[in-house]
Amino acid sequence: MPEIDPRIDAYIERSADFAQPILTRLRKLVHKACPDIVETMKWSMPHFDHKGNVCNMAAFKAHCAFGFWKQELLDHKFPVEKNAMSSFGKITSLKDLPPDKVLIELIRQAVELNEKGIKIPKKKPAERKELIVPDGLAKALSKNKKAKAVWDKFAYSHRKEYIEWINEAKTEPTRERRITTTVEWVAEGKGRNWKYEKC
């Protein structure tokens, strides 16, 4: 007997009428593919785990979603029009699902990846573009030694946020005000979004 999480029963019951048969079918296929799967709720959605995350499903107002955690490692050509949560795009009826045989095979592949301890390769961080300091800001910083010293030690992200903010100014007076504010805040060691940072 598969281990059933009553929270998923409740989730399916609360879902829209069109979604209930979709979620019920997906759940049944997951258990058929891996009898040892563990049901749980994460981020308010049904998840299926076996030695790590395998897959998840969700119901929305007008569609359902079903996704694999290691989708990119599975041997399957997923549709181009998928969304971030769903390997198969927006699922609005049982007809939108691949054949049961295909889904079962994909679930088994996902389980096997976890059993073998295979992880998704980490993506290389994007190369940092050289930041070009606007002339007005460079001049203003050169006139304020404290601000210049802080600026030179600032993290790349802090400098980038200030430069983008200044470059986004639509008028010269706005640009000048932003440069003045930048120098004041930098001298105080504040990042561009300091007001929103946790103390």
pLDDT at position 38 over 90: yes
Averaged pLDDT of the chain = 89
Structure-token pair, residue 112: 């096997």
Please tell me the least confidently modeled range out of 20-29, 51-60, 70-79.
70-79
What average pLDDT does range 19-39 have in this prediction? Answer: 96
What's the CA gap between 82 and 63, in Å, rounded? Answer: 12
CATH of the domain at 45: 3.90.1150.200
54 inside domain: yes
Q: Are residues 93 and 139 in the same domain?
A: no
pLDDT at position 80 over 80: no
What digits encode the pLDDT tens for the residues 137-185?
A: 999 999 999 999 999 999 998 999 999 999 999 999 999 999 999 999 9
Structure-token pair, residue 178: 């932003």
Q: Are residues 30 and 95 in the same domain?
A: yes
101 inside domain: yes
Q: Are residues 107 and 22 in the same domain?
A: yes
Number of domains in the chain: 2
The model's confidence at residue 81, banded by pLDDT at 50, 70 and 90, is low
- Global pTM reads 0.60
Cα 190–chain centre separation:
28
125 inside domain: no
pLDDT given for residue 120 in this prediction: 82
What's the CA gap between 81 and 123, in Å, rounded? Answer: 22
Q: Are residues 111 and 145 in the same domain?
A: no
Q: Are residues 88 and 155 in the same domain?
A: no
pLDDT at position 199 over 50: no
Q: Are residues 104 and 143 in the same domain?
A: no
Residue 32: domain span: 6-115
139 inside domain: yes
What's the CA gap between 61 and 19, in Å, rounded? Answer: 9
95 inside domain: yes
Longest C-alpha distance within the chain, in Å?
75
Q: Are residues 92 and 153 in the same domain?
A: no
pLDDT given for residue 88 in this prediction: 80
Q: Are residues 169 and 88 in the same domain?
A: no
Kindly compute the dihedral angle of the four CA atoms of residues 147, 150, 151, 155, in this order, to the nearest 10 degrees: -150
Q: Are residues 92 and 155 in the same domain?
A: no
Report the percentage of the chain scoring pLDDT > 70: 93
58 inside domain: yes
Q: Are residues 67 and 139 in the same domain?
A: no
What average pLDDT does range 92-101 have in this prediction? Answer: 93
Q: Are residues 106 and 175 in the same domain?
A: no
Ramachandran class of 189: left when φ > 0, alpha when ψ lies in -120 to 50, beta otherwise: left
CA-to-CA dists, residue 49 to 33, 59, 111, 127, angstroms: 12, 19, 8, 35
Handedness of CA 140, 144, 145, 149 (dihedral sign): negative
